[in-house]
Amino acid sequence: MSALAEHQFEILRSAEDSDGFVFGIGAEVSLDEDGFDPGEKNWLTQDSTNTRRGVVGFGRDLESAKTWAWETHTDQEDVESAVSILEQFEDIWTNEELARTPGAVTAIRYRLAGRTRRIFGRPRRYAAPPTNLILNGLVPISHDFQLVDAYTYDDVESVYEIPYSSSASGGGFTFPTTFPIVTEPSESNGAGQLAVGGTKRAYPVIRFNGPWIDPGFQTDDWTLSWKGSIPAAGWVEIDCRPWMLSVLNQDGASVVGGLGRKSWLEDCFFAPQTNPFVVLTGSATGGAASATVRWRNTWSSI
């Protein structure tokens, strides 16, 4: 991943990429003095007005997705260099593969106040009208990014690996961590305790690594079970993030039929600033099975 300087941003071609195009203060596409707007907080409400009593009834409210916007410019020496940078930036901002893939999102990484975080969504508006200043390598650029939600996320995922066997003890460790690593045995067969930060609920991605029959993932607040068998070297991954909500196997095929009819992935989350204790269930002999749980600490602010 690119090492970002303060007040720099990096748009990736896909959420899984490690490098993209860096813009912001000191970059080839530089930030205007007042060129960054992380959007405003709005709500999706279920308010209703009682015409008999003249009062407002409040229902369930949800924060609506934000739009981030930038005012930037090319910071070059001549028209040829400015046009070259514009071409690179517009190419990644108007990513055709991303735009043509339903449900796909990408990420923008950014560094602010000494910490690096990221947002998820899709690039939208892009405008770069050239004026005579292009002769000096300067072109003003306006561009927006539509977020999938109202939150920001840790740049580095937290990852916890839990070995599992029907007759052996499990264990685990959390990334990011500090080396040297000190591990401890879990308190029960295939169990462990996570450390979740942030200020908003974090939705996990849980992968059951085979061989396994009817794997399950239990916390004190919810249980997620998948019915079926997973072969050796195979896996089933359940993605609880609200913009994904998928159940895929190692071939990329949907295996959502293994979930129970009353399984609601949006109800499976870790509360912020907690240490949830998790337990694995199912049948997995031989000690080769495991579960990998990934999440990003989620924040309400930039």
| Domain spans, the chain | 8-154, 158-299
The pLDDT value recorded for residue 167 is: 59
Number of residues that this document lists for the chain: 302
Q: Return the bridge partners of 146, or none.
A: 67, 122
Q: Give me the architecture of the 158-299 domain, per CATH.
A: Sandwich (2.60)
Binning the chain into helix, strand and coil, the percentages to the nearest 5 are: 10, 45, 45
Q: What angle do CA 199, 298, 162 make, to 5 degrees?
A: 110
Nearest Cα neighbor of 203 from 175, 176, 242 is 242
The pLDDT value recorded for residue 189 is: 61
Over the chain (302 residues), what is each successive 10-residue block's mean pLDDT?
94 94 97 93 90 90 94 95 97 96 96 97 97 95 97 97 72 43 43 96 97 96 96 96 96 94 91 97 88 97 93
Q: What is the pTM of this model?
A: 0.88
- 8-11 and 106-112 beta bridge pairing: antiparallel
Q: Would the CATH topology of 8-154 be identical to that of 158-299? A: no
For the domain made up of 8-154, the CATH class stated in words is mainly beta
CA distance 84 to 234: 45
Residue written as token pair 């997995």: 284
The pLDDT value recorded for residue 169 is: 42
CA distance 219 to 277: 6
